[in-house]
Amino acid sequence: MHEMSLAEGVLQLVEDTARRESANRVKLVVLEIGRLSSVEPEAIRFCFEAVTHGGIAQGAALEIIAVPGAGWCMPCAETVAMSELYGACPKCGSHQVQPTGGTEMRVKEIEIE
3-112 CATH: 3.30.2320.80
Binned at pLDDT 50, 70 and 90, residue 21 comes out as: very high
Q: Which pTM was predicted?
A: 0.87
Sequence spans of domains, the chain: 3-112
Instruction: Tell me the one-letter amino acid at 62.
Output: L
Residues contacting residue 112 through CB under 8 Å, at least 6 positions apart: 17, 18, 21, 23, 24, 25, 26, 27
For the stretch 57-90, pLDDT in tens is 999 999 999 999 999 999 999 999 999 998 999 9
For the stretch 23-66, pLDDT in tens is 999 999 999 999 999 999 999 999 999 999 999 999 999 999 99
pLDDT for residue 1 is more than 70: no
